[in-house]
């Protein structure tokens, strides 16, 4: 299946089964905004729980907060967002489509990178077991030429973006002969800067002084509370503050489902460290975060690190964890060494000291910060897209299955009486009543067992429990496994332990 078709199928599956709906759909939707349905919100909550437990509850030195979306407007002056939270935009005059100029160039680089990968694949085919990939990459003339090209483009891109040289960015697009993916034309407008923050007015009086912003990241809510948390929680450096919450960005291009939305949710953690130790902690968090992802079992080959070409104004090191989405490898999470930039800026703009007295070295200082920042909606898409499969079955039928990590599945178990009579529904309810305290269960008595299994496969329920006439005699049920489709007869008394073993978050957290 083509990757884009795959995305279309996932979008329609997500809608059909109540995971994700276009927002205000009866009014034809609102671009780049989505609503999570009855199953989507369960999946989202489970992802949040996995993140929160692993970041906050598994680390004695990390605590969580929940700060307001609205913040004093000076926050965004201090953070640099009012002046510098811009994206360079460019329009194609023929298709009238708008693009982010840096993304056009990055996509161009990705194409060259794919050429290199193809060359390496060819080498592997030719030399088989004797193939030495590292040597091949270091010596093959085609690979070297393309790698050199990438470096040149990246250097130019970094230089122009860092110097806010919009004409230079435009010239790069022209020199690379980048064409509009839609119209194929190279008829571009000039490049302009576009601020991504949404603003609104506070109270009933409008005017410059009452202008406030919807936060474009949750991080600043953590920075302004740094001392509150440190003092009230008697936190000792190094320590972290985590938060999950909504963020808003007026994205220029927003047409990749929940990958890029104008209202989205972030899970961020700021880790405060001694100055000079930040790069050690940066490596530490890169390692912890990639392990968190891989533990889910979505496939190690779906992740890669990508170091930033252009560092943000506040960072001295930054890397993205990219995931192989249906649109290809794209940013899922950022790990940034933010230096002491944010706290220092807030000190300057607020006139309040934001320092820490370190008893071990007898010094006052403004801590350095390592940030881990992951988009909850992108994580949702990563989980959904890598779990969605259609499988050919023996009897010439097909099933759509969501092989979600069991701990994240919206329902852990479906309870099914074989028929709607003979006391089977009553027995099924009794079993469900015992399980529902610990597991999200769905009761399902409609249609044939085959149809019911298909429905549960399509929403990723790890187990189906079938109650039949034998259940009434010997208190046993059949348990069907979503992935193997195997059915086992087990005692009702064993059910709780069997389900818990499979769906508990503990496996992921250990
Ligand atoms: P991109 O380069 O894709 O615009 P970014 O580098 O601006 O992303 P950050 O500012 O580092 O993103 O935000 C941290 C995380 O928040 C990202 O890794 C991503 O998962 C998520 N995120 C950012 N913008 C959006 C958005 N518009 N919709 C959904 N998630 C987003």
C-alpha span between 65 and 222 (Å, rounded): 8
In which band, very low, low, confident or very high, does the pLDDT at 275 lie, cut at 50, 70 and 90? Answer: very high
The count of structural domains within the chain is: 3
* Per-residue model confidence (pLDDT) at position 81: 93
**Contacts for 40-44: CB closer than 8 Å, 24+ residues apart:** 40/14, 40/380, 42/410, 42/411, 42/440, 43/19, 43/380, 43/383, 43/384, 43/404, 43/408, 43/409, 43/410, 44/265, 44/376, 44/380
Examine residue 263 and state whether it is found in any structural domain, yes or no.
Answer: yes
208: pLDDT strictly greater than 70: no
Using a 6 Å cutoff on CB, does residue 405 contact ligand 1? no
Using a 6 Å cutoff on CB, does residue 260 contact ligand 1? yes
Output the residue whose Cα is nearest ligand 1's atom 23. 375
The CATH number assigned to the domain holding 434 equals 3.40.50.800
* Per-residue model confidence (pLDDT) at position 4: 64
Output the residue whose Cα is nearest ligand 1's atom 28. 260
Atom of ligand 1 nearest to the CA of 266: 16
The CA 332 to ligand 1 mean position distance, Å, reads: 7
Strand order in the sheet with 62-65: 62-65, 239-248, 263-273, 368-375, 328-339, 317-325, 303-307
Using a 6 Å cutoff on CB, does residue 266 contact ligand 1? yes
Instruction: Tell which wins on pLDDT, 413 or 208.
Output: 413
Using a 6 Å cutoff on CB, does residue 108 contact ligand 1? no
Which structural domain, as residue segments, surrounds residue 454?
394-509
Output the residue whose Cα is nearest ligand 1's atom 21. 375
The CATH number assigned to the domain holding 271 equals 3.30.930.10
Examine residue 325 and state whether it is found in any structural domain, yes or no.
Answer: yes
The CA 221 to ligand 1 mean position distance, Å, reads: 17
Same domain, 55 and 149: no
Same domain, 182 and 226: no
Same domain, 121 and 238: no
The CATH number assigned to the domain holding 158 equals 3.30.40.230
The CA 260 to ligand 1 mean position distance, Å, reads: 7
In which band, very low, low, confident or very high, does the pLDDT at 204 lie, cut at 50, 70 and 90? Answer: low
Same domain, 91 and 60: no
Q: Of the candidates 374, 392, 410, which is a domain's last residue? A: 392
Output the residue whose Cα is nearest ligand 1's atom 9. 334
Examine residue 326 and state whether it is found in any structural domain, yes or no.
Answer: yes
C-alpha span between 425 and 419 (Å, rounded): 8
Residue in this structure with the two tokens 């506070």, named with its chain if needed: 202
Output the residue whose Cα is nearest ligand 1's atom 14. 373
- How many of the other CB atoms lie within 10 Å of CB of 30? 14
Q: Of the candidates 392, 427, 462, which is a domain's last residue? A: 392
* Per-residue model confidence (pLDDT) at position 2: 57
Output the residue whose Cα is nearest ligand 1's atom 4. 260
Mutational test site, ligand 1, from 331, 369, 381, max ligand atoms within 8 Å of CB: 331
Using a 6 Å cutoff on CB, does residue 46 contact ligand 1? no
Secondary element (H or E) of residue 417: strand 413-417
Examine residue 288 and state whether it is found in any structural domain, yes or no.
Answer: yes
Q: What angle do CA 109, 115, 116 make, to 5 degrees?
A: 95
Examine residue 415 and state whether it is found in any structural domain, yes or no.
Answer: yes
228 CB burial (10 A radius; 0-12, 13-18, 19+)? exposed
Q: What is the pLDDT of residues 46-69, one digit of tens each?
A: 999 999 999 999 999 999 999 999
Same domain, 282 and 384: yes
Mutational test site, ligand 1, from 222, 261, 264, max ligand atoms within 8 Å of CB: 264
Using a 6 Å cutoff on CB, does residue 249 contact ligand 1? yes
* Per-residue model confidence (pLDDT) at position 5: 73
Tell me the three state secondary structure of residue 391: strand
Same domain, 407 and 345: no
201: pLDDT strictly greater than 80: yes
Q: Of the candidates 392, 413, 434, which is a domain's last residue? A: 392
Using a 6 Å cutoff on CB, does residue 156 contact ligand 1? no
Segment 243-267 shows an average pLDDT of 93
Atom of ligand 1 nearest to the CA of 333: 18
Same domain, 342 and 409: no
Output the residue whose Cα is nearest ligand 1's atom 25. 260
Using a 6 Å cutoff on CB, does residue 382 contact ligand 1? no
Output the residue whose Cα is nearest ligand 1's atom 2. 331
* Per-residue model confidence (pLDDT) at position 308: 84
| Bridge partner residues of 188 (DSSP) | 92
Atom of ligand 1 nearest to the CA of 262: 27
The CA 375 to ligand 1 mean position distance, Å, reads: 6
**Mean pLDDT for the chain?**
94
Q: What is the pLDDT of residues 5-26, one digit of tens each?
A: 789 999 999 999 999 999 999 9
* Per-residue model confidence (pLDDT) at position 393: 87
Question: Is 273 in contact with 23 (CB distance < 8 Å)?
Answer: no
Same domain, 98 and 157: yes
Cis bond leading into 238, ω under 30°?
Answer: yes
Output the residue whose Cα is nearest ligand 1's atom 29. 260
Question: Is 203 in contact with 210 (CB distance < 8 Å)?
Answer: yes
Using a 6 Å cutoff on CB, does residue 378 contact ligand 1? yes
Mutational test site, ligand 1, from 47, 378, 383, max ligand atoms within 8 Å of CB: 378
Examine residue 112 and state whether it is found in any structural domain, yes or no.
Answer: yes
Same domain, 430 and 385: no
Using a 6 Å cutoff on CB, does residue 338 contact ligand 1? no
* Per-residue model confidence (pLDDT) at position 253: 75
Examine residue 81 and state whether it is found in any structural domain, yes or no.
Answer: no
Output the residue whose Cα is nearest ligand 1's atom 30. 375
In which band, very low, low, confident or very high, does the pLDDT at 254 lie, cut at 50, 70 and 90? Answer: confident
The CA 216 to ligand 1 mean position distance, Å, reads: 10
- The structure tokens listed for 335 are 């790990």
Same domain, 249 and 271: yes
Examine residue 257 and state whether it is found in any structural domain, yes or no.
Answer: yes
Residue in this structure with the two tokens 């470096």, named with its chain if needed: 151
Q: What is the pLDDT of residues 420-449, one digit of tens each?
A: 999 999 999 999 999 999 999 999 999 999
Using a 6 Å cutoff on CB, does residue 335 contact ligand 1? no
Same domain, 405 and 473: yes
Mutational test site, ligand 1, from 253, 258, 266, 304, max ligand atoms within 8 Å of CB: 266
Same domain, 56 and 187: no
Using a 6 Å cutoff on CB, does residue 268 contact ligand 1? no
Atom of ligand 1 nearest to the CA of 100: 4
C-alpha span between 387 and 490 (Å, rounded): 28
- How many of the other CB atoms lie within 10 Å of CB of 438? 13
Q: What is the pLDDT of residues 129-187, one digit of tens each?
A: 888 998 999 999 999 999 999 999 999 999 998 888 999 999 999 999 999 999 999 99
């Amino acid at each position: 299946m083509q990757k884009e078709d795959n995305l279309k199928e996932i979008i329609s599956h997500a809608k059909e089964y109540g995971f994700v709906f276009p927002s205000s759909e009866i009014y034809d939707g609102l671009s780049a905004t989505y609503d999570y349905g009855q199953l989507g919100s369960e999946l989202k909550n489970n992802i949040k729980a996995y993140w929160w437990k692993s970041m906050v509850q598994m680390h004695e030195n990390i605590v969580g907060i929940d700060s307001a979306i609205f913040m004093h407007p000076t926050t965004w002056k201090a953070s640099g967002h009012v002046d510098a939270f811009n994206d360079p935009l460019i329009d194609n005059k023929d298709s009238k489509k708008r693009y982010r100029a840096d993304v056009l160039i990055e996509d161009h680089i990705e194409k060259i990178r794919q050429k290199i990968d193809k060359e390496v694949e060819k080498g592997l085919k030719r030399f088989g077991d004797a193939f030495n990939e590292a040597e091949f990459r270091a010596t093959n003339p085609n690979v070297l030429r393309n790698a050199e090209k990438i470096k040149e483009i990246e250097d130019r891109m970094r230089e122009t973006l860092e110097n806010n040289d919009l004409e230079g960015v435009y010239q790069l697009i022209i020199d690379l002969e980048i064409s509009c993916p839609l119209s194929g034309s190279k008829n571009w407008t000039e490049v302009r800067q576009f601020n991504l923050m949404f603003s609104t007015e506070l109270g009933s009086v409008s005017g410059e002084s009452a202008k406030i912003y919807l936060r474009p990241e949750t991080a600043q809510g953590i920075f302004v509370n740094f001392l509150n948390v440190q003092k009230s929680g008697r936190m000792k450096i190094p320590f972290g503050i985590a938060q999950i919450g909504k963020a808003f960005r007026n994205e220029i291009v927003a047409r990749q489902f929940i990958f890029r939305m104008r209202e989205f949710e972030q899970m961020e953690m700021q880790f405060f460290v001694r100055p000079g130790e930040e790069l050690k902690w940066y490596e530490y968090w890169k390692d912890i975060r990639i392990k968190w992802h891989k533990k889910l079992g979505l496939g190690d080959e779906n992740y890669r690190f990508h170091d930033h070409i252009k560092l943000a104004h506040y960072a001295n090191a930054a890397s993205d964890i990219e995931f192989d989405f249906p649109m290809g490898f794209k940013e899922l999470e950022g790990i940034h060494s933010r230096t002491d930039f944010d706290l220092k800026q807030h000190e300057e703009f607020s006139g309040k000291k934001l320092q820490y007295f370190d008893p071990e070295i007898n010094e006052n200082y403004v801590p350095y910060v390592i940030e881990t920042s992951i988009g909850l909606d992108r994580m949702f898409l990563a989980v959904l897209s890598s779990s969605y499969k259609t499988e050919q079955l023996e009897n010439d039928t097909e099933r759509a299955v969501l092989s979600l990590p069991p701990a994240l599945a919206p329902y852990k178990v479906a309870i099914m009486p074989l028929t709607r009579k003979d006391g089977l529904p009553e027995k099924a309810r009794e079993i469900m009543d015992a399980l529902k305290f610990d597991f999200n269960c769905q009761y399902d008595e409609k249609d044939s067992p085959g149809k019911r299994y298909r429905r549960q496969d399509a929403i990723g329920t790890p187990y189906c429990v079938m109650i039949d006439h034998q259940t009434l005699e010997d208190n046993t049920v059949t348990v069907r496994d979503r992935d193997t489709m195997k059915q086992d007869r087990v005692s009702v008394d064993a059910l709780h332990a069997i389900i818990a073993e499979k769906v508990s978050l503990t496996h992921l957290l250990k």
